[in-house]
Structure 1
Amino acid sequence: MFHIIPGTKSEMLDAEYWIEKIPDRDHLIMMQDDIIKFNQKIVEKCDSVYDLRSYRDSFTYDELLSLIKEYKLPEKEMYFGNGEVVKSDFYHHIADNLNITEIKEVNPVQYGITIRKTSIRSFPTEIAVYSRKGDIEFDRFQETSCQAIEPVIVLHESKDKKWYFVQMYNYKGWAKVTDIAIAKNKEEVFDYLDTDDFIVVTGNRVRTQSNPYDDDVSEIQLDMGTRVPLEKDMPDTIGNQSTYGNYVVKLPSRDDKGNLVFKDGLISMKEDVHQGYVPYTRANILNQAFKLIGDRYGWGDSFNGRDCSSLIMHIYKTFGFRLPRNADEQERCPGIVHQFSDDLSLIDRIEAFKGIKPGAALYMPGHAMMFVGIDGGVPYIIHDFTGYAERNGDKYDFIPVNEVMVTSSLLITADGKMFLERIIKSVQFGM
C-alpha cells in the first residue's frame, strides 16, 4: 500500500485512465512546421525568450552591467544550509567575483554549448542561501537548470574563472565553466544543432552507455525534452562496444582549453527516446506528463528534479515547443486562452473546464499545473507541487508532498483556498 492524496485514487496515476476519456485523443493538434512558427510567436511576445541564432553580437559596458545587476543580493537575514546566518563578508566576496572591473566598453559575445545538465545561478557560487533557518528546500541563489546540448551565449566570466554569465534561450545567469564548451563561432553551434537526424529524450531521464575509455561521453544524464543529434557516419564500435542495438549520438565536449569538440556516444535503442519530435496529440501530452509521476520536486530544478513550470516546459519540449521558463511568462504565451475572473463561482469554474482540453496548462499566482480531465464532475490536475493543507479546527495544517502527482482541483492550498478557486488562466498551446 502507498499513501494517496485526498481525492486521488490509485488508478488515476495511469495515463490511460484519462486518455480513454478524450474523444480526439490521437488527433494531431499541430504539425512541426506550425510549432516552429508558434515558437517564433513566443519570441515576439515574451521578452524572456530568445532566438539565439539572431542574438546581438556585443554589449556595451552599461548594457552588460545592467544584465548582471538584475540579480540583487539579499537585504533580509539569510541562512546557510547549516543554519548559520549569512554575513556581509560572504556577499562582498560574491560581489567581487562578479568581476565588474573587467567589463569592457564593448563586450563581444561568444557562443557555446552545454556538455551536461548544469545549474543557472543568480551569482557565481555553488553555496546555497536560504530564507529560513533549517529550510533547505529553496536555495535562493538557484534559478533553474540548463539541459545538456543547449546553445548558450557567453557574456562574461567571473573573477575566479569558474563561472560564465550566460544567456540560454529562456533564461540568463551564472553557469559553471566546466559545463560549457566554447565554439569558434555561431555557425559551429547551429550547423551541429540544426540537423534533421536527431532523437528526443521522452523518458524522465536516460543516460548514455558507460564508456570506460572516455568519461566525456560515459553515462551522461539527458532529461526529458533533450534533443540529441545523431551521428551520420556510424562507426562499428565506440569505446570497444558494438554500436549494434544503440543510437550513435554526436555529443558536445570540451578539449583541454575548453573549446568545443564533438565525440560519439551510445544510447540504447531500448531507452525511452523518440526519433524526431513526438507527434503533438492530447494522448501524447498526457503520456509524457504521467512518466514523471512521483518525481521529486526541486525549486529551480534542484535535487535533480523540476519545479512546477519546469515540468510544463520539459513535457512540451518533447513536441518541439520552446516555452518560457517561469509560470508568469508561460501564461502570456499565445494559444487558446481561458481567463477565470475572480468573481466566478465554484460551479461556474467547474463548468468552464468542459471547454478546456486535457493537456492544457493551468496557472494560478506562483504555480503551474496541467489539466488531465474530469472525474466525478471534478477537474483533475497533474502538477509538481510542494504540498497542500488539511483543516484542523480553525486553522490549516500544511502537508508536504514535494513531487509530481495527480490531484483533485478541489484540494486545499496552504492559504485555505482550493486550487480550483485560485486558477486564473488556462492556456492550450497552439494556433
Structure 2
Amino acid sequence: MLDAEYWIENIPDVDRIIMTQNDIVKFNQEIVGKCDSVYDLRSYRDSLTYDELLSFIKEYKIPEKEMYFRNGEVVKNDFYDYIIDNSNLYRIDEDNPIKYGITIRKTSLRSFPAEIAVYGRKGDIEFDRFQETSCHAIEPVIVLHESKDKKWYFVQMYNYRGWAKATDIAIAKNKEEVFDYLDTDDFIVVTGNRVRTQSNPYDDDVSEIQFDMGTRVPLEKDMPDTIGNQSTYGNYVVKLPSMDDEGNLIFKYGLISIKEDVHWGYVPYTRANILNQAFKLIGDRYGWGDSFGGRDCSSFIMYIYKTFGFRLPRNADEQERCPGIVYKFSDGLSLDERIKVFDKIKPGAALYMPGHVMMYVGMDGGVPYIIHDFAGYAERNGDKYDFIPVNEVMVTSSLLLTSNGIPFIERFSSAIQFEM
C-alpha cells in the first residue's frame, strides 16, 4: 500500500491527460476569481492606503491566552511590545508604494517580524503559532512594508501574506524585471521531494541551494561551458535570482544534475502522475506551517499539484472553496452512504474536513484509503482515547480514528477533483 503502483494498477484511463496546460492556466484564473486569498501578482495595485496596509498587518493578533517559549517560559508582554514596535506601524504613510521582489531561497512567512517560536502549550515544540507558511525559492513577492530593524519585509506572495527575512528576498527594479525572468518556456519543475544545485566552491550564492517539490526553476538558454570551474555537461544550467550588496536583484547561474528528480516543463496532469507525486513523500516529516523543513496537510496537497502548474490556496478551508468537480458529504449520511460516495470520486481528489485535507488513493476491501500529512490519530483505551503521534506522510484507512475518536471518513465535508 505504500507503493503508488498498488493503487495505479486499478485505475482506468490512468494515463489520460485530465487537463492541458492551457486548461490549467484558465483554472488558475478561476481560482483567483473565486478565492480571496489568491492573487494575480501581475495585476496587483501600485500602492496601498494607510488603512489597507494597516489592516493587512493587523490580521495577525497578539494572543490573548498564555503562550510559551520553546524552553517553557511564559511569553511576557515585553516580548509582544517588541514585535509590535518592530512592525513599524508608525512608518505607514497615507500612500504606500509597493515593490516587487523574488525569493532567492526557501523562506518562512511569520505572523510577526521575529524568528522566536511561540507555543500554545508548555512543552510543545511542534506547533509554533507564529509560523504561518513557507515560500518556495524563485517565487515572486510584493514587498508591502519593512520592519523597524530592517531585517524583515511584510510581503504578499500569490496565496499568503506575512513577514519574511529581508535577506531571503532580492528587490527588483520593477515588475517587468521579475516576470520577464519568470515567464519563460524553458524551465524545469522539481518533482522529487527535494533537489539541490551542485556545490560551487567559488560562489556560495548558487552552491547547494535546496529546491522543494513544485519549485519552478528557469533554465539558461545560452549554456556556458563551465560554471564554478565545473563542466556543464550532464547538468541543467539554471538561472537563479540572487542579490547584490544593496539587496537588489541580480542573476547567477547554477547547475542541477540531469539525473535529479526534475521534469522539463510541468508534469502532464494524469491520475497516475498525481499519485506518483504524492507517494514520493511517504514518510516525510510533518511540519506545521512547513516547519522542520517539512509540510503540513494543505501544503502537501498544494505542492503536489504545483508540479502540474496549479496555484492552489494555501490553507485547507480556502482550498475547499476552489472550483472543480465537487462532491459533498452531508451531515446526515451514514457510514455506508459516505463510502458509497466514493463510487464517483476519482483517485487523486482532495478530501476535506474541518482543519485537515487528505488525498484519496483508492478502495481496498470496500474501504476508501487516503494519503495525508498528519499529526496523529486516536486509539481507544477503555472509556477514553489516547492520542498516537505520527507526524509524517502516510497511507491510512479512512476509518482511522481522529484525535476525538471519530473516524476520519465521518468528518469528511467534501471532495474536490481539480478539473473542469
Q: TM-score, normalization: structure 2?
A: 1.00
Q: Determine if the alignment matches structure 1 residue 412 to structure 2 residue 410.
A: no
CA distance in 2, matches of 1:55, 1:91: 31
- Residues of 2 paired with 1:137 and 1:401: CA distance? 12
1:116 equivalent in structure 2: 105
Residue 229 (str. 1) matches residue 229 (str. 2): no
Aligned counterpart, 1:190: 179
Residue 104 of structure 1: how far off its partner (Å): 1.1
2:36 paired with 1:57: no
Task: Say which of 111, 117, 124 aligns to 1:135.
Answer: 124
Q: Which residue of 2 aligns with 1:338?
A: 327
Aligned to 1:13, the other structure's residue is in SS state: coil
Per the TM alignment, residue 62 of structure 1 is displaced from its structure 2 partner at its CA by 1.2
Partner of 1:401: 390
- 2:16 is the counterpart of 1:27: yes
Measured against aligned partners, the alpha-carbon deviations of 1:64-103 in whole angstroms (never above 9, x if no partner) come to: 1111011001111000000000000000001100001111
1:125: which partner in 2?
Answer: 114
Superposition deviation, residue 21 in structure 1: 0.8
Trace 1:22-421 onto structure 2 (pairs within 5 A): 22-421=11-410
Tell me, what secondary structure is at the counterpart of 1:355? coil
Cα deviations across residues 191-236 of structure 1 (Å, max 9, x unaligned)?
A: 0000000000000000000000000000000000000000011000
| Secondary structure of residue in 2 paired with 1:350 | helix
State the secondary structure of the residue aligned to 2:256.
Answer: strand
Matched residue of 1:271: which SS? Answer: coil
Offset of residue 63 of structure 1: 1.0
Counterpart CA distance in 2 for 1:343 and 1:24 is: 33
For residues 10 and 193 of structure 2, the distance between their equivalents in structure 1, rounded to whole angstroms, comes to 25
**2-structure distance, mates of 1:357, 1:187:** 40
Aligned-partner residue type, residue 421 of structure 1: E
CA distance in 1, matches of 2:368, 2:69: 40
Distance in 1 separating the partners of 2:36 and 2:46? 18
Q: Return the offset for 1:353.
A: 0.3
State how far apart, in whole Å, the 2-side matches of 1:341 and 1:60 are. 43
The Cα RMSD (Å) is: 0.4
The share of aligned pairs that are identical, in percent, is 84
Name the amino acid aligned to 1:276: G
Bigger mean CA deviation after superposition, 285-294 or 94-103:
94-103
| Partner SS for 2:415 | strand
SS at 2:275 equivalent = helix
Deviations along 1:268-303, whole A, 9 cap, x unmatched? 000000000000000000000000000000000000
C-alpha displacement of 1:357: 0.1
Structure 2: distance between partners of 1:67 and 1:399: 37
Is residue 2:2 matched to residue 1:13?
yes
SS at 2:313 equivalent:
coil
- 1:9 is matched with none
Q: Which secondary structure state, in structure 1, belongs to the residue aligned with residue 254 of structure 2?
A: strand
For 2:91 and 2:400, the matched residues in 1 are separated by 52
Distance 2:354 2:13 in 1: 31
For residues 375 and 322 of structure 1, what CA distance do their matches in structure 2 show?
Answer: 31
Distance, in Å, in 2 between the alignment partners of 1:351 and 1:74 is: 43
CA–CA distance in 2 between the matches of 1:40 and 1:59? 23
Paired residue secondary structure (2:386) = strand
Number of paired residues? 420
Equivalent residue of 1:383, what SS?
strand
* Structure 1 alignment gaps of length 5 or more: 1-11
Q: CA deviation at 1:24?
A: 1.1
Q: Cα distance, 1:105 vs. partner?
A: 1.1
Aligned partner of residue 343 in structure 2, secondary structure = helix
Letter in 2 for 1:334: P
State the distance in 2 between where 1:66 and 1:325 align. Answer: 20
Q: Runs of at least 4 residues of structure 1 off by over 6 A?
A: none
Instruction: State how far apart, in whole Å, the 2-side matches of 1:130 and 1:156 are.
Output: 26
Provide Cα deviations, 1:25-56, integer angstroms capped at 9, x if missing partner.
00100000000000000000000000000000
CA deviation after TM superposition for structure 1 residue 328, in Å: 0.2
Distance in 1 of aligned mates of 2:386 and 2:91: 51
